[in-house]
Amino acid sequence: MKKSIALVDDDRNILTSVSMLLEAEGFQVRTYNDGVSALDGLNQSPPDLAILDIKMPRMDGMELLNRLRKTQTMPVIFLTSKDEEIDEVLGLRMGADDYIRKPFSQRLLLERIRALLRRGERGPAGAEGEAKEADRLVRGELTLDPSRHLCVWKGKQVNLTVTEFLLLKSLAERPGHVKNRDQLMDAAYGETIYVDDRTIDSHIKRLRKKFREVDENFEQIETLYGIGYRYRDG
């Protein structure tokens, strides 16, 4: 089944050229030229991945992302201009998974899209799915299933973005062990993107908030000021 990608940009040339590229690579593409129409369309039929321009009329990419993150966990890539570095940082803190600066190479865009889809890909059912059972991570009341991008706390599902899931997995893999921000950046973003310390802090804050929505006493992620974070052992 074809992966679906939503492309939101007020630049008709970008909509046309990127759509042709993605369709030629076997993706199903839906396009929107402003944030308002995109919000309705993406909520009614969520794609596998969304590409958002930041500067748009009616509703910009930041506001669109903020509203989407209230109900959607799909991977999001921001398209930014060279003079929008502050927006890039804000976007990552708000829950974007990656950003690409304009003008961008089509090859780079394809690589980023495929990388994000691989990170969030659900595992197949059947024998191969059973083989992935070993990938499941259980830490007390926490269960993480990377093959299905599933997070469960005390029997309740917690909906996480790809980046949030990878951060939590990195911490929970070694309970009691402190991970500094550089290590967490590598776990969440790899070597393709560099973010500042405050971006990681913002993701951790969002993680805690989501867990406390299902358990107000959630305290498993501990902060060691000036050092980093750790997942509580036991």
CATH code for position 109: 3.40.50.2300
For the cut 90, the answer to whether the pLDDT of residue 16 exceeds it is: yes
Residues 80 and 156 in one domain: no
Residues 82 and 173 in one domain: no
Distance CA 181, CA 117 (A): 24
Residues 33 and 62 in one domain: yes
Residues 216 and 164 in one domain: yes
Q: How far, CA to CA in Å, does 41 sit from each of 45, 68, 159?
A: 6, 11, 20
Classify 100 as helix, strand or coil.
Answer: strand
| Among candidate residues 83, 100, 120, the one where a domain is terminated | 120
| Among candidate residues 120, 139, 156, the one where a domain is terminated | 120
Most confident range (mean pLDDT) of 57-66, 82-91, 92-101, 214-223 is 214-223
Retrieve residue 222's tokens: 């501990």
Look at residue 211 in the predicted model and tell me its pLDDT.
Answer: 96
Peptide bond into 103 cis (omega under 30): yes
Dihedral angle sign, alpha carbons of residues 209, 210, 214, 215: negative
| Among candidate residues 100, 120, 140, the one where a domain is terminated | 120
Look at residue 88 in the predicted model and tell me its pLDDT.
Answer: 64
Look at residue 227 in the predicted model and tell me its pLDDT.
Answer: 92
Residues 210 and 109 in one domain: no
For the cut 60, the answer to whether the pLDDT of residue 128 exceeds it is: no
For the cut 80, the answer to whether the pLDDT of residue 116 exceeds it is: yes
Mean pLDDT of 194-209: 82
Opening angle at CA 141, ends 49 and 206, nearest 5? 40
Residue-number span of the structural domain to which 70 is assigned: 4-120
Residues 114 and 132 in one domain: no
Is the model more confident about 149 or about 53?
53
Residues 132 and 210 in one domain: yes
Of the listed ranges 17-31, 41-55, 90-104, 217-231, the one predicted with least confidence = 90-104
pLDDT tens-place string over residues 36-52: 999 999 999 999 999 99
Closest CA to 120 of 85, 145, 103, 157: 145
pLDDT tens-place string over residues 136-192: 899 999 999 987 778 999 999 998 877 888 899 999 999 999 999 989 988 877 665
Look at residue 131 in the predicted model and tell me its pLDDT.
Answer: 39
Residues 103 and 134 in one domain: no
| The pTM of the whole model exceeds 0.75 | no
Percent of residues, the chain, with pLDDT higher than 90: 50
CATH assignment at residue 204: 1.10.10.10
Residues 113 and 143 in one domain: no
- Domain count along the chain: 2
Residues 108 and 206 in one domain: no
Residues 46 and 143 in one domain: no
Residues 70 and 155 in one domain: no
Is the model more confident about 122 or about 197?
197
